[in-house]
Structure 1
């Protein structure tokens, strides 16, 4: 094997029922229940018009400015995958654009995340296919490699392993490790139900706000 060229073809994938359940919960709520420290992807912003995604991570480590292995990942993708690319955060050359995104979508990919640049923003922003990137550049990519597929990567400071559940909405994107995913889902669903009840209380004018002053008093503040 030539150094820097590696493709791992077999990696675990989360059950589709579990992925679908996470797709119905906002990323903000999931993040709250991950201690607000494991979820992230700082600097990765949605480029599409609206909508969310949830799928299994198909990871790519790409040489900054080069998308050869991203193309190969699109060839290998299975329905329900999210292609997640560690391109080192470099914004000099776009790693993905309208053509590659369209091809990945035709392969059943449900979203793309790039710690690097994208291009063809007019086309991407007009659609609902989820695309997250660190920035935009009109300069196209090289296609020489090297790169790796289905290896642990880091995007925007967030570790992503092959097969992680990747969830995104207009607030951003996060990766959920397989270990503990069921417990996380239960906690996030409970918070979602609690927040739905609070919204009803706000509408009815009955939201209990006593905790605000209680917290201030506990910290030594007095009127």
Structure 2
């Protein structure tokens, strides 16, 4: 990639609306792997409970599938996938392709042929704020995909678009290289520089949940857990 790729697109000679930046540095594999057993809900709890996608659904069949990988971000014109094809040529094994398609579902951005490319390039999965098609192929094992909706109508390939830029996907801000985790509950993005801290906070949160779960199971939950909150609000309990 040319050193001009990360410069202002107009200053670097790019046409208006086009930009291709280099991929972000890789996180340690052990750190990425550590998130594979963590539920998205617990990660969200550790990140203030107000971060994550809204309105996406999974199109792969197995609910227990967990998607973990660093974000390769793409912004496209709704209904056009030219720059998604270019991004797939840049993708590294373990990447999650995250596409800001503006939430449009009138034309699919990815389909079965592109799924074949994703599998061949060993992507960890896809997050599409737009539509997919060829649902029977996406339902097969091997390539998690979360999308806004689906349609049989195919995309154009005219551009414009941008690769490895900050995007917003279904109310979730995603930076290139963010650690993206998805499961049956939803998708969340963790800033790369915060991944170790979020890992520690999530593990601590899960230990706390385990204690609460055991007290719920055994019937020994402390009533003061909620009564104290109610009394603080003025209720005589």
Q: TM-score over 0.5 for the alignment?
A: yes
Mapped to 1, the partners of 2:183 and 2:112 lie a distance apart of 20
Structure 1 stretches lacking a partner, 5+ long: none
Matched, 1:91 2:110: no
Mapped to 1, the partners of 2:106 and 2:162 lie a distance apart of 20
State which drifts further: 83-92 or 10-19: 10-19
Offset at 1:28?
0.7
Residue 176 of structure 1: aligned partner = 190
Mapped to 2, the partners of 1:150 and 1:70 lie a distance apart of 11
Would you say the 8 A contact 1:12–1:162 is kept in 2? no
Matched, 1:187 2:198: no
- Picking from 31, 42, 46, the partner of 2:54 is 42
Give secondary structure in 1 for the equivalent of 2:115. helix
Residue 166 of structure 1: aligned partner = 180
Mapped to 2, the partners of 1:126 and 1:68 lie a distance apart of 25
- Picking from 138, 141, 156, the partner of 1:124 is 138
Mapped to 1, the partners of 2:122 and 2:138 lie a distance apart of 17
Mapped to 2, the partners of 1:208 and 1:108 lie a distance apart of 48
Offset at 1:126?
4.2
Would you say the 8 A contact 2:35–2:68 is kept in 1? yes
RMSD (Å), alpha carbons: 1.5
Offset at 1:222?
2.6
- Picking from 139, 149, 159, the partner of 2:153 is 139
State which drifts further: 196-205 or 89-98: 196-205
Give secondary structure in 2 for the equivalent of 1:179. helix
Give secondary structure in 1 for the equivalent of 2:138. helix
TM-score, normalised with respect to structure 2: 0.88
Residue 69 of structure 1: aligned partner = 83
Would you say the 8 A contact 1:98–1:120 is kept in 2? yes
